[in-house]
Amino acid sequence: MTWRLRVDPIACDGRGLCAELLPECISLDDWGYPIIESPEVSGRLMTHARRAVAMCPTLALLLEDTP
Amino acid sequence: MSSGDEVPRLLRGLTSDGRPLSLTEHLALHGPVPAARARRDPDRNLVAEIERSGLRGRGGAAFPVALKLAAVGARRGRRVVVVNGCEGEPVSSKDRVLLNQSPHLVLDGATVAARAVGAAQIVVATKLDSAAVVEHAVAERVRARLDEPTPRVVVVPDRYVAGQESALVNFLNSGRSAPTLVPPRPFERGVGGQPTLIQNAETVANLALIAGNGAEWFRRLGPAADPGTVLVTLTGAVERAGLYEVARGTSISVLLQRAGGPSAPVQAFLVGGYAGSWLTAAAGREACLDEASMAARGAVVAVGAVTVLPDTACGVAETARILRYLAEESAGQCGPCVHGLASIAGSADELARGIAERDVVTRLERWAGQIAGRGACHHPDGAVRMLASALRCFSDDVAAHRSGRPCPAAPPAGSRHRRGVLR
């Protein structure tokens, strides 16, 4: 099963926690908003991805399963 | 019925004084729409006929209409048809002209769409300046016992992003004219949470013609992959600016001839509106008004607006002005759009004035790459596409401005230059 990261850009406030917790997948643009560099998450990164999702203060980071 | 080989189709019979065609006049021109009443179930034969017509959406994305009809028709619920007459694009007036002068053609098309998907509700979303005419036309139809369901007319704020699909659904549901996160898309959960078909007013008017004349007739004009006509709002340095209807696939040079030619030597064309693309004079003249021809030149037909930039104007300054407009028209919800477009507009403005830093083009390109695809809607994407085309089209001018040589057409220092030569 592959999971995909997605940002809700309306909810996102650009706090930047996700890029600190999951630098393997997420970087920040020039204004501090997340860019999903590699959306597909699997294996050992899942724990980190779940933590990043849970820690987002505005609940803007989504982890969705892909059929 | 007409033979179908000539234009105008959509603008047929419009009066020169701009008044709306009455129901009687409309019926004399176009005849009644066959089987105009919506039923509870989708009309598969009608959808198949529309599929054969090859009609694509005229609101900007050029998505095949039959696919959208089938997607909505396949969902359970009290389906809704929304006619999108918001037309936020400043250099486009096609939907306003259709709604104000041929409201019954659009309403005919709305009933065709409603029958195709089995809709329980029709909404016509317009700007304030079309609402009274459409209301009057709906009343005429109610008296003639024409439509079922009776269309509801809703006035939408005159903002650039108001006609964006999710923003329109959001406005109809909550009164807030701002895009929402998709999915869910309108066909899944739209107006009142019901499966919703949203089609541009020009698209809907074409549905009426297809239902009345057949797919075969519709395909007699335009390329096989992109048939029909296109309504073109022609503005800028042209002898007779205004709204034209030509077969899709018509070249811009033929369109210009119909409009009496350019009124000054042409420097460039802006095709597809503010979120469209700049083409050099040479490339633009050869370009044809169909999606394949435009795509080959990195452009889109989109809403069909064509603006002629004279050689006395400054493409860099025009681009900066449009970017400022688009930045200010952001719904203000998504960081990459709010901050990205503001930064891009600021740097483009400095470039136009000849006061930008040396690396301004690299910076603009980096920002353009960063914000594309990162808004809830495609507003930032359109702005970035227009910017990228400007950097290509006006590359010599950009280099000159970058070395601190603003052209005479650039705005004076200290001014915000909201008005350009085009509008």
Among B166, B181, B347, pick the best mutation site for testing chain A contact (most A Cβ within 10 A).
B181
Q: What is the pLDDT of residues B236-255, one digit of tens each?
A: 999 999 999 999 999 999 99
Residues 169-198 of B with CB under 8 A from A: 179-181
**Residue A26 lies in domain:** 2-66
Determine what percent of chain A is predicted with pLDDT higher than 90: 88
Give the pLDDT score at B418: 41
Domains: count for chain A: 1
Q: By mean pLDDT, which of A14-18, B114-118, B203-207, B400-404 is the weakest?
A: B400-404
Neighbours of B77 (CB within 10 A): 15
Q: Which of B179, B181, B340 is nearest residue A31 as measured by Cβ atoms?
A: B340
Share of chain B above pLDDT 70, in %: 94
Interface contact flag, A30 B366, Cβ < 8 Å: yes
Q: Name the residue of chain B whose CA is nearest to A37's CA.
A: B370
Please say if the pLDDT value at position B226 is more than 50.
yes
Residue B111: predicted pLDDT: 95
Position B406 confidence tier, pLDDT thresholds 50, 70, 90? low
pLDDT at B299 over 90: yes
Residue with tokens 């699997």: A42
Contact B367 A35 (CB under 8 A): no
Confidence of residue B4 (pLDDT cuts 50, 70, 90): low
Interface of B with A in 332-371 (CB under 8 A): 333-337, 339-340, 343, 366-367, 370-371
Three-state SS sequence of chain B: CCCCCCCCCCCCCCCCCCCCCCHHHHHHHHCCCCCCCCCCCCCHHHHHHHHHHCCECCCCCCCEHHHHHHHHHCCCCCCEEEEEECCCCCCCCHHHHHHHHCHHHHHHHHHHHHHHHCCCEEEEEECHHHHHHHHHHHHHHHHCCCCCCCCEEEECCCCHHHHCHHHHHHHHHHCCCCCCCCCCCCCCCCHHHCCEEEEEHHHHHHHHHHHHHCHHHHCCCCCCCCCCEEEEEEEECECCCEEEEEECCCEHHHHHHHCCCECCCEEEEEECCCCCEEEEHHHHHHCECCHHHHHCCCCCCCCCEEEEEECCCCHHHHHHHHHHHHHHCCCCCCHHHHHHHHHHHHHHHHHHHCCCCCCHHHHHHHHHHHHCCCCCCCHHHHHHHHHHHHHHHCHHHHHHHHCCCCCCCCCCCCCCCCCCCCC
Tell me the three state secondary structure of residue A51. helix
* Residue B222, amino acid: G
Cα B7 to Cα B221: distance, rounded to the nearest angstrom? 9
Strand locations in A1-67, DSSP E?
Answer: 3-7, 26-28, 34-36, 40-41, 61-65
**At B1, is the pLDDT very low, low, confident or very high (cuts 50, 70, 90)?**
very low
Check pLDDT > 90 for residue B148: no
Q: Give chain B's mean pLDDT.
A: 93
Structure tokens at B260: 């009496």
Nearest CA in chain A to B179: A10
Above 70 in pLDDT, residue B181? yes
> How confident is the model at residue B5, as a pLDDT?
72
A64 by DSSP, 3-state: which?
A: strand
Q: Is the pLDDT of residue B114 over 50?
A: yes
- CB within 8 Å: B340 and A12: no
Position B419 pLDDT exceeds 90? no
**Joined tokens for residue B67:** 């696919």
- First-to-last C-alpha distance (Å) of chain B: 39
Sign of CA dihedral B223, B225, B227, B232: negative
pLDDT of residue A40: 94
Long-range contacts of the stretch B46-50 (C-beta < 8 A, 24+): B46/B112, B46/B115, B46/B116, B46/B211, B47/B73, B47/B116, B49/B210, B49/B211, B49/B214, B49/B215, B50/B116, B50/B207, B50/B210, B50/B215
Nearest CA in chain A to B363: A30
A-chain CB neighbours of B333 within 8 Å are 9-10
Confidence of residue B408 (pLDDT cuts 50, 70, 90): low
Rounded-to-integer distance, Cα B295 and Cα A54, Å: 42
Which pLDDT tens digit goes with each residue over B302-328?
999 999 999 999 999 999 999 999 999
Contact by Cβ (8 Å): B182, B4? no
Query: Is the pLDDT assigned to residue B115 strictly greater than 60?
Result: yes
Q: At what angle do helices B94-101 and B128-143 cross, to 10 degrees?
A: 30
pLDDT tens digit sequence for B61-107: 899 999 999 999 999 999 999 999 999 999 999 999 999 999 999 99
In the prediction, which pLDDT does B163 show?
93
Pseudo-torsion of CA B34, B36, B39, B45, nearest 10°?
40
Which residues on B lie below 8 Å from A29 (Cβ)? 336, 340, 370-371, 374
Q: Classify burial at B43, counting beta carbons within 10 Å of its beta carbon; exposed 0-12, middle 13-18, buried 19 or more.
A: buried
Separation in Å, CA B292 to CA B60, B225, B289: 14, 8, 9
pLDDT reading at B416 higher than 60: no
pTM of the model: 0.93
pLDDT digits (tens, 9 = 90+) for B25-36: 999 999 998 766
* Cα B203 from Cα B57, distance rounded (Å): 6
The closest CB to that of A9, out of B366, B370, B376, belongs to B376
Q: What is the CATH number of the domain that holds A41?
A: 3.30.70.20
Which residue in B276, B44, B81, B37 sits closest to B196, CA to CA?
A: B81
* Radius of gyration of chain B from its Cα atoms, rounded to whole angstroms: 22
* pLDDT tens track for B241-290: 999 999 999 999 999 999 999 999 999 999 999 999 999 999 999 999 99
